[in-house]
């Protein structure tokens, strides 16, 4: 999903890890099964960037408003 993120959808949201950590992001980069996310501001330890393996992602939350049809570019389709 991150490799084919369409330009029409803002690169903002939050990731929930398999350990239950909620990581809001305002941008990201990809590299061989790893995701580098950037926060708008530092967390409680002062960090702004986090590297997460795809296997550690349990959920992705989108802060983008709009129709569900916008997400079809990511491969999501309506049920038959």
For residue 45, what are the domain limits? 13-65
Q: What value does the mean pLDDT take over residues 10-20? A: 94
Quote the pLDDT of residue 73.
83
The answer to whether residue 25 sits within a structural domain is yes
The answer to whether residue 36 sits within a structural domain is yes
Quote the pLDDT of residue 76.
86
* Tens-digit pLDDT profile for residues 22-48: 999 999 999 999 999 999 888 889 999
The answer to whether residue 71 sits within a structural domain is no
Structure-model confidence comparison of residues 18 and 72, the more confident one: 18
Domain count for the chain: 1
- Average model confidence (pLDDT) across the chain: 90
Sign, CA dihedral 29-35-41-46, equals negative
What whole-number distance in Å separates Cα of residue 53 and Cα of residue 14? Answer: 15
- 3 to each of 6, 28, 53, 74, how far by Cα in Å? 9, 10, 13, 9
The answer to whether residue 4 sits within a structural domain is no
């Amino acid at each position: 999903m991150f490799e084919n993120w369409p330009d029409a959808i803002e690169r903002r949201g939050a990731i929930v890890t398999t350990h239950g950590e909620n990581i809001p992001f305002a941008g990201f980069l990809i590299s061989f099964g790893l995701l580098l996310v950037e926060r708008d501001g530092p967390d409680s330890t002062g960090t702004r960037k986090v590297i997460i393996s795809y296997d550690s992602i349990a959920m992705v939350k989108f802060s983008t408003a709009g129709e569900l049809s916008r997400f079809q570019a990511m491969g999501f389709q309506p049920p038959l």
